[in-house]
Amino acid sequence: MTSSDPSPAIILCEPQMGENIGAAARAMANFGLSDLRLVRPRDGWPNEKAVAAASRADHVIRAVQVFDSVEAAVADLSFVYATTARDRDVTKEVRGPVHAAAHLRALEGQGVRAGLLFGRERWGLNNDEIALADEILTLPVVPEFASLNIAQAVLVIAYEWRKAGFEAVDGGLPFGMPERSPPATKDEILHLFEHLETSLDERNFFRPVEKKEHMVRNLRAIFQRMSLTAQEVRTLRGVIATLEGRPNRPTKVKGPKPRRKSGPAAPADAEG
Protein backbone atom coordinates (compact mmCIF):
# COMPACT_ATOMS: atom_id res chain seq x y z
CA MET A 1 0.00 0.00 0.00
CA THR A 2 1.35 3.45 -0.87
CA SER A 3 0.20 6.94 0.00
CA SER A 4 -1.62 9.17 -2.47
CA ASP A 5 -0.33 12.24 -0.62
CA PRO A 6 1.65 14.33 -3.16
CA SER A 7 4.06 15.53 -0.47
CA PRO A 8 7.39 13.71 -0.13
CA ALA A 9 7.57 10.46 1.79
CA ILE A 10 9.83 10.29 4.85
CA ILE A 11 11.68 6.96 4.99
CA LEU A 12 13.50 5.96 8.20
CA CYS A 13 15.97 3.12 7.68
CA GLU A 14 16.17 0.71 10.63
CA PRO A 15 15.22 3.24 13.34
CA GLN A 16 16.22 1.99 16.76
CA MET A 17 14.20 4.12 19.16
CA GLY A 18 10.45 4.50 19.19
CA GLU A 19 10.91 7.99 20.64
CA ASN A 20 12.78 9.07 17.51
CA ILE A 21 10.04 7.69 15.27
CA GLY A 22 7.40 9.54 17.25
CA ALA A 23 9.36 12.79 17.28
CA ALA A 24 9.89 12.51 13.53
CA ALA A 25 6.14 11.98 13.07
CA ARG A 26 5.43 15.07 15.14
CA ALA A 27 7.91 17.13 13.09
CA MET A 28 6.21 15.94 9.92
CA ALA A 29 2.79 16.93 11.23
CA ASN A 30 4.11 20.37 12.22
CA PHE A 31 4.92 21.15 8.62
CA GLY A 32 2.27 19.24 6.70
CA LEU A 33 3.90 15.91 5.85
CA SER A 34 2.12 12.63 6.54
CA ASP A 35 3.70 9.75 4.58
CA LEU A 36 6.05 8.04 7.05
CA ARG A 37 7.72 4.76 6.05
CA LEU A 38 9.83 2.53 8.30
CA VAL A 39 12.37 -0.01 7.12
CA ARG A 40 12.88 -2.83 9.63
CA PRO A 41 12.33 -0.83 12.86
CA ARG A 42 14.40 -2.48 15.59
CA ASP A 43 11.57 -2.81 18.13
CA GLY A 44 8.88 -3.70 15.60
CA TRP A 45 5.66 -1.89 14.90
CA PRO A 46 3.39 -0.58 16.35
CA ASN A 47 5.47 1.00 19.11
CA GLU A 48 3.93 2.58 22.21
CA LYS A 49 6.92 4.89 22.78
CA ALA A 50 6.56 6.21 19.24
CA VAL A 51 2.87 6.90 19.80
CA ALA A 52 3.62 8.80 23.03
CA ALA A 53 6.43 10.85 21.46
CA ALA A 54 4.29 11.73 18.45
CA SER A 55 2.26 14.04 20.69
CA ARG A 56 -1.08 13.91 18.86
CA ALA A 57 0.36 13.43 15.37
CA ASP A 58 -2.02 10.46 15.28
CA HIS A 59 -2.81 10.71 11.58
CA VAL A 60 0.88 10.23 10.76
CA ILE A 61 1.29 7.29 13.15
CA ARG A 62 -1.88 5.54 11.91
CA ALA A 63 -0.70 5.74 8.30
CA VAL A 64 2.84 4.40 8.94
CA GLN A 65 3.97 1.75 6.45
CA VAL A 66 6.61 -0.84 7.36
CA PHE A 67 8.94 -2.41 4.78
CA ASP A 68 11.51 -5.18 4.78
CA SER A 69 13.99 -3.27 2.62
CA VAL A 70 14.86 0.21 1.38
CA GLU A 71 14.21 -1.02 -2.15
CA ALA A 72 10.62 -1.87 -1.25
CA ALA A 73 10.13 1.42 0.62
CA VAL A 74 11.13 3.54 -2.38
CA ALA A 75 9.62 1.32 -5.09
CA ASP A 76 6.72 3.66 -5.95
CA LEU A 77 8.87 6.82 -5.86
CA SER A 78 10.43 8.45 -8.89
CA PHE A 79 12.97 10.64 -7.10
CA VAL A 80 14.75 10.10 -3.77
CA TYR A 81 17.12 12.22 -1.71
CA ALA A 82 19.50 10.35 0.61
CA THR A 83 20.29 12.44 3.69
CA THR A 84 23.86 12.20 4.96
CA ALA A 85 26.57 14.48 6.32
CA ARG A 86 29.46 12.11 5.54
CA ASP A 87 31.79 12.00 2.58
CA ARG A 88 30.95 9.03 0.38
CA ASP A 89 32.55 7.18 -2.49
CA VAL A 90 29.27 7.40 -4.42
CA THR A 91 29.38 10.13 -7.06
CA LYS A 92 26.11 12.03 -6.77
CA GLU A 93 24.98 15.64 -6.75
CA VAL A 94 25.02 17.08 -3.23
CA ARG A 95 22.22 19.54 -2.46
CA GLY A 96 21.32 21.75 0.47
CA PRO A 97 17.85 21.94 2.08
CA VAL A 98 16.68 25.10 0.27
CA HIS A 99 17.47 23.72 -3.18
CA ALA A 100 16.02 20.32 -2.31
CA ALA A 101 12.80 21.83 -0.95
CA ALA A 102 12.24 23.89 -4.10
CA HIS A 103 12.97 20.83 -6.25
CA LEU A 104 10.53 18.69 -4.28
CA ARG A 105 7.83 21.31 -4.75
CA ALA A 106 8.53 21.40 -8.47
CA LEU A 107 8.24 17.60 -8.65
CA GLU A 108 4.91 17.75 -6.84
CA GLY A 109 3.67 20.21 -9.42
CA GLN A 110 4.51 17.68 -12.09
CA GLY A 111 2.76 14.86 -10.22
CA VAL A 112 6.07 13.11 -9.47
CA ARG A 113 6.29 11.15 -6.21
CA ALA A 114 9.46 11.79 -4.21
CA GLY A 115 11.00 10.72 -0.92
CA LEU A 116 13.62 11.57 1.68
CA LEU A 117 15.70 8.68 2.99
CA PHE A 118 17.15 8.92 6.51
CA GLY A 119 19.68 6.54 8.02
CA ARG A 120 20.18 4.82 11.34
CA GLU A 121 20.75 6.74 14.58
CA ARG A 122 24.26 5.34 15.08
CA TRP A 123 25.79 5.33 11.62
CA GLY A 124 23.36 6.56 9.01
CA LEU A 125 23.08 5.05 5.53
CA ASN A 126 25.47 2.67 3.83
CA ASN A 127 26.76 3.14 0.29
CA ASP A 128 24.36 0.61 -1.21
CA GLU A 129 21.39 2.48 0.27
CA ILE A 130 22.71 5.83 -0.92
CA ALA A 131 23.16 4.33 -4.38
CA LEU A 132 19.37 3.88 -4.57
CA ALA A 133 18.90 7.65 -4.27
CA ASP A 134 19.07 10.20 -7.08
CA GLU A 135 20.89 12.89 -5.11
CA ILE A 136 22.37 13.51 -1.68
CA LEU A 137 20.85 16.03 0.69
CA THR A 138 22.95 17.46 3.49
CA LEU A 139 22.57 20.32 5.97
CA PRO A 140 25.03 23.19 6.58
CA VAL A 141 26.13 21.84 9.95
CA VAL A 142 29.44 22.51 11.67
CA PRO A 143 31.82 19.84 10.27
CA GLU A 144 33.19 19.03 13.73
CA PHE A 145 29.69 18.28 15.01
CA ALA A 146 27.79 17.11 11.97
CA SER A 147 25.58 14.38 13.42
CA LEU A 148 21.90 15.26 13.92
CA ASN A 149 19.21 13.33 15.69
CA ILE A 150 16.90 11.81 13.05
CA ALA A 151 13.87 13.75 14.25
CA GLN A 152 15.87 16.99 14.18
CA ALA A 153 16.94 16.35 10.61
CA VAL A 154 13.35 15.56 9.59
CA LEU A 155 12.20 18.77 11.26
CA VAL A 156 14.70 20.98 9.42
CA ILE A 157 13.95 19.50 6.01
CA ALA A 158 10.18 19.45 6.56
CA TYR A 159 10.40 23.12 7.55
CA GLU A 160 12.25 24.03 4.37
CA TRP A 161 9.79 22.02 2.29
CA ARG A 162 6.85 23.89 3.78
CA LYS A 163 8.54 27.28 3.32
CA ALA A 164 9.14 26.50 -0.33
CA GLY A 165 5.39 26.25 -0.85
CA PHE A 166 4.78 29.94 -0.13
CA GLU A 167 5.65 32.94 -2.26
CA ALA A 168 6.21 35.25 0.72
CA VAL A 169 9.42 34.81 2.72
CA ASP A 170 7.44 34.23 5.91
CA GLY A 171 4.28 32.89 4.32
CA GLY A 172 2.05 30.35 6.00
CA LEU A 173 2.22 31.78 9.51
CA PRO A 174 -0.76 30.56 11.59
CA PHE A 175 -1.71 34.13 12.42
CA GLY A 176 -0.60 37.53 11.24
CA MET A 177 -0.49 40.93 12.83
CA PRO A 178 -3.86 41.92 14.29
CA GLU A 179 -5.83 44.34 12.20
CA ARG A 180 -4.92 47.89 13.16
CA SER A 181 -7.16 50.87 13.39
CA PRO A 182 -6.66 53.21 10.40
CA PRO A 183 -3.94 55.84 10.74
CA ALA A 184 -5.04 58.95 12.61
CA THR A 185 -5.88 61.93 10.44
CA LYS A 186 -4.01 65.19 10.87
CA ASP A 187 -7.20 66.66 12.34
CA GLU A 188 -7.31 63.93 15.00
CA ILE A 189 -3.62 64.45 15.79
CA LEU A 190 -4.08 68.23 16.10
CA HIS A 191 -7.00 67.77 18.48
CA LEU A 192 -4.83 65.43 20.57
CA PHE A 193 -2.11 68.09 20.72
CA GLU A 194 -4.62 70.77 21.68
CA HIS A 195 -6.14 68.56 24.37
CA LEU A 196 -2.76 67.64 25.85
CA GLU A 197 -1.32 71.13 25.70
CA THR A 198 -4.42 72.69 27.24
CA SER A 199 -4.36 70.20 30.10
CA LEU A 200 -0.65 70.77 30.69
CA ASP A 201 -1.08 74.54 30.47
CA GLU A 202 -3.79 74.42 33.15
CA ARG A 203 -1.32 72.67 35.44
CA ASN A 204 1.55 75.10 34.87
CA PHE A 205 3.64 72.54 33.05
CA PHE A 206 5.16 75.00 30.60
CA ARG A 207 7.71 76.79 32.78
CA PRO A 208 9.48 79.04 32.25
CA VAL A 209 6.79 80.57 30.06
CA GLU A 210 9.28 81.87 27.51
CA LYS A 211 10.24 78.28 26.66
CA LYS A 212 6.66 77.10 26.09
CA GLU A 213 6.82 77.31 22.29
CA HIS A 214 9.98 75.18 22.17
CA MET A 215 8.54 72.68 24.67
CA VAL A 216 5.33 72.33 22.64
CA ARG A 217 7.32 71.59 19.50
CA ASN A 218 9.29 68.90 21.34
CA LEU A 219 6.10 67.29 22.64
CA ARG A 220 4.49 67.30 19.20
CA ALA A 221 7.64 65.80 17.65
CA ILE A 222 7.46 62.89 20.10
CA PHE A 223 3.91 61.97 19.09
CA GLN A 224 4.50 62.57 15.39
CA ARG A 225 7.22 59.89 15.41
CA MET A 226 4.74 57.30 16.69
CA SER A 227 2.58 57.02 13.54
CA LEU A 228 -0.49 56.87 15.76
CA THR A 229 -3.70 55.15 14.71
CA ALA A 230 -7.14 56.67 15.23
CA GLN A 231 -7.79 54.24 18.08
CA GLU A 232 -4.49 55.11 19.75
CA VAL A 233 -5.36 58.81 19.60
CA ARG A 234 -8.72 58.10 21.24
CA THR A 235 -6.99 56.07 23.93
CA LEU A 236 -4.48 58.86 24.65
CA ARG A 237 -7.24 61.44 24.88
CA GLY A 238 -9.08 59.14 27.28
CA VAL A 239 -5.92 58.94 29.42
CA ILE A 240 -5.63 62.73 29.49
CA ALA A 241 -9.30 63.09 30.38
CA THR A 242 -8.89 60.61 33.23
CA LEU A 243 -5.91 62.52 34.61
CA GLU A 244 -8.04 65.67 34.41
CA GLY A 245 -10.66 63.93 36.53
CA ARG A 246 -13.29 64.01 33.79
CA PRO A 247 -15.71 61.07 33.34
CA ASN A 248 -15.38 61.34 29.56
CA ARG A 249 -12.88 63.06 27.35
CA PRO A 250 -14.10 66.04 25.33
CA THR A 251 -14.63 65.33 21.65
CA LYS A 252 -12.79 68.46 20.61
CA VAL A 253 -10.67 71.11 22.21
CA LYS A 254 -10.64 74.44 20.46
CA GLY A 255 -7.81 76.58 21.63
CA PRO A 256 -6.28 76.87 25.12
CA LYS A 257 -8.53 77.53 28.06
CA PRO A 258 -7.80 80.36 30.52
CA ARG A 259 -5.29 79.30 33.15
CA ARG A 260 -6.75 78.58 36.55
CA LYS A 261 -5.71 80.92 39.35
CA SER A 262 -4.97 78.16 41.77
CA GLY A 263 -4.24 74.47 41.65
CA PRO A 264 -1.37 71.98 41.94
CA ALA A 265 1.73 72.89 40.02
CA ALA A 266 4.15 70.20 38.96
CA PRO A 267 7.57 71.60 38.00
CA ALA A 268 8.71 70.13 34.73
CA ASP A 269 10.92 70.78 31.79
CA ALA A 270 10.01 69.17 28.46
CA GLU A 271 13.22 70.10 26.73
CA GLY A 272 15.17 67.06 25.61
> Is residue 196, in this structure, part of any structural domain at all?
yes
Select from 163, 192, 227 the last residue of a domain.
Answer: 163
| Same domain for 86 and 213 | no
From the CA atom positions of the chain, what is the Rg in Å?
32
| Same domain for 189 and 254 | yes
Select from 119, 137, 163 the last residue of a domain.
Answer: 163
pLDDT of residue 154: 96
Residues 190-241: tens digit of each pLDDT? 999 999 999 999 999 999 989 999 999 999 999 999 889 999 999 999 999 9
Residues 16-53: tens digit of each pLDDT? 999 999 999 999 999 999 999 999 999 999 999 999 99
* pLDDT of 74 higher than 60: yes
> Is residue 31, in this structure, part of any structural domain at all?
yes
| Same domain for 142 and 20 | yes
Range of the domain at 266: 179-272
Residues 122-138: tens digit of each pLDDT? 888 999 999 999 999 99
| Same domain for 145 and 186 | no
Predicted confidence band at 247 (pLDDT cuts at 50, 70, 90)?
Answer: low
| Same domain for 78 and 156 | yes
> Is residue 77, in this structure, part of any structural domain at all?
yes
> Is residue 172, in this structure, part of any structural domain at all?
no
> Is residue 51, in this structure, part of any structural domain at all?
yes
| Same domain for 156 and 261 | no
pLDDT of residue 251: 53
* Edge-first strand listing for the sheet containing 94-95: 65-67, 36-39, 9-13, 114-118, 79-83, 135-137, 94-95
> Is residue 120, in this structure, part of any structural domain at all?
yes
pLDDT of residue 143: 79
pTM attached to this predicted model = 0.66
| Long-range residue pairs from 239-246, CB within 8 A, at least 24 positions apart, any chain | 240/195, 240/196, 240/199, 241/195, 243/199, 244/199
